[in-house]
Amino acid sequence: MDNGTLDLHLEAEYLVARFMGKEAAMIVSMGFATNSTTIPSLVGKGSLVISDELNHSSIVFGARVSGASIKVFKHNDMKDLEQVLREAISQGQPRTHRPWKKILLMVEGLYSMEGSICNLPGIISLKNKYKFYLYLDEAHSVGAMGPNGRGICDYYGIDPSNVDILMGTFTKSFGAAGGYLAASKRVIDYIRFNSHSNVYAESITPPILQQIITSTKIIMGEEHGNDGRRRIQQLAQNSKYFCSELKRMGFIVYGVDSPVVPLLLCHPAKIPAFSREMLKRGIAVVVVGYPATPIITSRVRFCISAAHTMEDIKWALEQISEVGDMLLLKVSEENGERVKKEKKKLQ
């Protein structure tokens, strides 16, 4: 690796491995590259990648570059996943029908555009049955999900040993840059010598490494007392309250227990209108439309923070409600039923 390896790199990798409950870890200087350059080192011709249809573009890119065969299953649909697995295993490789050298299932812990959480218990059940390898992308869930902030395994209370490779980034909860891979020492050593992100790229700089180390220790409760645990609990409370209030108002909202809250805008013309109206009220939002989403599922994505006070959230909800009324966005079935009941009472 260019720029060499410092004691801080080793300390950060040891800390990440301990935090994730794995034997070893490797840090990468870029989050996108953590997936896109690692996947080709894990699979190739004769291997099969099975990917959730809503996986991040870094996973899609890495799988395509690898040269492995790719099959896609419906988002979070365990029945469809099992059907894909059964067909792939029974048919084997194209033309030769030989057994696959390796089958790697790739999913995200928390899907950033949907706010949905992967069905990890269901996936582990299928893993035990069909004996594939599991690669879990925790870019949006590590540091945010679970009672200890350790991500989706922590959220479900599942032993990390059930997941072969845990991947994550330091750009969200850690406020830094880069990404990591956590797995057995044998797997990490193999990736370290075969991944382009480690062999050819520059190493993470010391200031960013220190940020990673300090933020990880805070989350683990090894610095600043109980502040890390308090923030994780506050984030969960803020997320649940914000999401439930949006639903109560009549908005169509995706996700459960997620700090990423997508609100459906539906019509493409409402995307710039919603953004402008929110900006007038002093709130900057991220709006997403086609081709990042299907045309009729344009959305705004809210990212909740532990630093948001209840006053902040209530004020933001008031502004969102006003804009929702203006743009006729309160169209959920629950809201429709509630309006009907209120009309009947008035009659």
Return the active site residues. Answer: 112, 140, 172
- Is residue 95 exposed (0-12), middle (13-18) or buried (19+ Cβ within 10 Å)? exposed
Point out which residues pair with 181 in neighbouring strands. 26, 167
- Is residue 223 exposed (0-12), middle (13-18) or buried (19+ Cβ within 10 Å)? middle
Could you tell me the maximum CA-CA distance found in the chain, to the nearest angstrom?
A: 76
Instruction: Record the tokens describing residue 44, joined without a space.
Output: 């190739």
- Is residue 341 exposed (0-12), middle (13-18) or buried (19+ Cβ within 10 Å)? exposed
SS3 for 257? coil
Q: Please answer whether residues 156 and 121 qualify as being in contact, where contact means their C-beta atoms are separated by less than 8 angstroms.
A: yes
Measured CA to CA, the distance from residue 249 to residue 251 in angstroms comes to 6
